[in-house]
């Protein structure tokens, strides 16, 4: 990795900013991108795969529990089916679940609505400050918006909260150094 003067200045400022953020409890992160299932390989028009019915169904008619709905929403979001992802998230029983808030933020960010997306990330982190994926997505949003010091502060937070080496950490790190985001 090559460092130029701007990069060195950036890390100096980011280190000072990150040092003022308190250390918190460690949380595990297993948030690799979702594997494709029949929801995105066979279903169309916002339908989701219902394993118990063995068919594609409108999500509101499915027999999916909250975890299965969440999985379908993640998969739809990663496939770029943002409206459908939001519709599935809206069916989850706990709208204050940090996972729901995080993915609402993700969808809004990916559709160019950074500020509303940021508000959802912040709500998720207010409930679970150790939610590495929310920090990663928020940091990626900051990086996309050119706010590199804030993006780097999230990377430091993930590391300080036990997330170094996780997918969330690696993706945010990649967005800072390579300019790519998930």
**Predicted local distance difference test score (pLDDT) of residue 33:** 84
Q: Say yes or no to pLDDT of 24 above 70.
A: no
In this structure, are 48 and 106 located in the same domain? no
Where among 93, 123, 143 does a domain terminate? 93
The reply to whether 37 falls in a domain is yes
pLDDT tens-digit profile of 63-83? 999 999 999 999 999 999 999
pLDDT tens-digit profile of 121-151? 999 999 999 999 999 999 999 999 999 999 9
Q: Which domain range does residue 89 map to?
A: 31-93
The reply to whether 4 falls in a domain is no
Domain count, the chain: 2
**Predicted local distance difference test score (pLDDT) of residue 34:** 87
Where among 76, 93, 110 does a domain terminate? 93
Share the mean pLDDT of the chain: 85
DSSP 131-175: -HHHHHHHHHHHHHTT-HHHHHHHHHHHIIIIITTSHHHHHHHHH
In this structure, are 82 and 135 located in the same domain? no
List the one residue out of 147, 137, 143 whose CA is nearest residue 169. Answer: 137
């Amino acid at each position: 990795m090559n460092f130029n003067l701007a990069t060195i200045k950036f890390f100096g400022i980011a280190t000072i900013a990150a040092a003022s953020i308190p250390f918190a409890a460690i949380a595990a992160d297993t948030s690799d991108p979702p594997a494709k299932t029949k929801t995105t390989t066979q279903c169309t028009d916002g339908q989701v795969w219902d394993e118990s019915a063995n068919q594609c169904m409108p999500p509101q008619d499915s027999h999916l529990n909250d975890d299965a709905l969440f999985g379908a929403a993640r998969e739809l979001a990663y496939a770029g089916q943002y409206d459908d992802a939001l519709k599935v998230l809206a069916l989850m029983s706990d709208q204050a679940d940090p996972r729901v808030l995080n993915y609402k933020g993700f969808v809004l960010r990916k559709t160019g609505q950074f500020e509303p997306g940021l508000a959802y990330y912040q709500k998720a982190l207010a409930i679970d400050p150790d939610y590495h994926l929310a920090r990663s997505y928020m940091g990626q949003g900051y990086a996309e918006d050119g706010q590199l010091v804030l993006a780097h502060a999230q990377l430091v937070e993930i590391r300080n909260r036990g997330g170094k080496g996780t997918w969330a950490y690696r993706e945010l790190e990649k967005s800072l150094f390579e300019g790519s985001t998930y």
